[in-house]
Structure 1
Amino acid sequence: MKKFLWLGFVLVFLLASCAPAATAAVTPAASETVVATTAAATVSETSVATAESTAAAGDAGKLVVYAPASTSSIPVILAVSQIPGAELTLYSNQSQANTLFLRGDVDILVTGLSVGVDMANNGAPVQMVDSFVSGLSYLVTYGRQVSSLADLKGQEIYIPFEGSPIEEVTAFFAQKEGLTYKTDLTPIYAAFDSSVPLLKQGKATAVVLPEPNVTLVEGQPNVFISVSYFDEWNRLTGTNEGYPQVGAFVNSAWAADHAADIAAFNTQLAAAITSVEADPAAAVTAVSSNYKLAPELLLKSLNRTRYNLVTGTALQDSIENYYQTIGKPLDEKFTASFFGSAQ
């Protein structure tokens, strides 16, 4: 329980401020998957209208979805807009979203993989219904471009907080490159609103950032976008689809009675991802009113984000393989936390 409360505190702290526009300071993030780009974003006009018409007839049957106010949620916005009676809120307060979800006010919570896993490990009755973001983070360096973490031997690397998903993958990369993490490569824990200014000043020479933070520092003097964690994972593991980072979670009791709603959400999400990948510019046009990032920056951020929708038994295989690969296998009790894995 202490671990869960600690995680909630960290998430609230790191998501406390918001990036107003392209020239603003980079927003701190709770993990590599939750970056607040607006404090009180709204969904697209189509889905708002749908939700309002449903609310007029009462809340019964309304599907309530919460997703992080980050560029990774663009397919979610498009997907929910196609589900009659659905309501989407883009949140920037992870702890508040967790509370609403756990008390039953939110049907589907889209969040970072580690957040949902921690909920389940702490006894919450949650099930994972999909994973859909497989590439979001980059190693950004100052002064020179590097090709791998091996080039940083003997140096420091800035990580958002200890035990974060970014740190888990960074430690795995270091080990695969023959480095001893925390000896050959020293982590410095700092929220993005602290590490980004240090990067710009040259006082931090290696920082791991998720989108849209990467886009917001691109073009700064002597700053290089050195290593895509998506590409590095594929190179070091011999795979080609990245690793699971963001997914959707539901209450297990709710899921038992709403299989059709979950299927509809995943079907529309699959269609939205296909649409985003086929025409990212059109996707940005459709959702840009939800973000305070300028459309051209939103498009750059979207183009650096990788999607891979996984559901059912393939989802369980994917998540278990990820944790096994990084040396942190899941407890067997987590098997019950995959929706549809045995269906």
Structure 2
Amino acid sequence: MMMKKSYEASWECPSNIALVKYWGKKPGQLPMNPSLSFSLKKAQTKTSVRIEPASRRKVEFLFEGKTSFFTERVEKYLAAMSLEHDWLNNYAFYIESENTFPHSTGIASSASAYGALALCLVDLKQQVTEKKFTTQQFFQKASRWARLGSGSACRSVFSSFALWGRLEGFPNSTDCNAIPVTEKFHPAYQSLRDAVLLVDSSKKQVSSSAGHEMMNEHDFKDVRIAQANSHLRQLLEVMKTGDHQRFFQLIEKEALSLHALMMTSDPSFILLQPNSLAVIAKIRAFRQQTGLAVGFTIDAGPNIHLIYFEQDKQMVHQFIEGELLSLTENGDWLDDCIGNGPRKLNG
């Protein structure tokens, strides 16, 4: 392969919110159970990568114009990737990245970060090798490469809904990468919104990586795998029929199951805060009082994601401002919605 010049690639990639949760992983950053998510619209990472020929691989990484602790993670990621993709050893990498959303807001920045970086790397591979991938090949590779950095990142490279993990009876599903879900869902689900209620922005006492590791010897490991598969199949069906009541029952059970697994790990740990539970109680009371199709999900942290539909935006915002913000840290919340996936940026 002839090295002749520098190359550049710039991509914007969203974060995503899981409805069926990924918790626990097998060697090779493969999931113990399948998961389903939808990509967000506003919560994006923008990443630009320039590579220049070099005698050995080196990395310079700037996050929002400053050096970052993430540099070491990127170096380890590229080193691991280079074992299979030797061309990565022949370049110096100059990476600049920024988020459209603040840190510690309950939105997974590693998903959007590794998604954006993987998209840039696949783009660069096309340029270096002068081999053009089909659209399907391009995003499949990006999903696979993103997974090696952060498991949930593999779902971020697709618009709307993405499924990651082998699901029996679902064609093309695999543990190696996510796939876009093109089921004929009820049109209401294309108007989903996600209001992130920031209960506590402090660093988690147990990282997600450590939590995943604890699933290896968890008492409920096999039951959880069966549960996630069952929930996923049920969710895909109710989203076709538009059974909103069952939809919210399933995603809330998934969220609470995730935290139940943490509370029954060995050692056990609790990430929910008293105000997390207070927000959940108010959401359920609001749903019962109004009859609106609203509910919640939670990632591996204390912050609550209020899931609702576009048509109910005004009433939901009034509810948030009137009853929930007093339970959040500094009255902070972010409002987002289902998105159109990643986008190539002009250099």
TM-score (norm 1): 0.24
TM-score (norm 2): 0.24
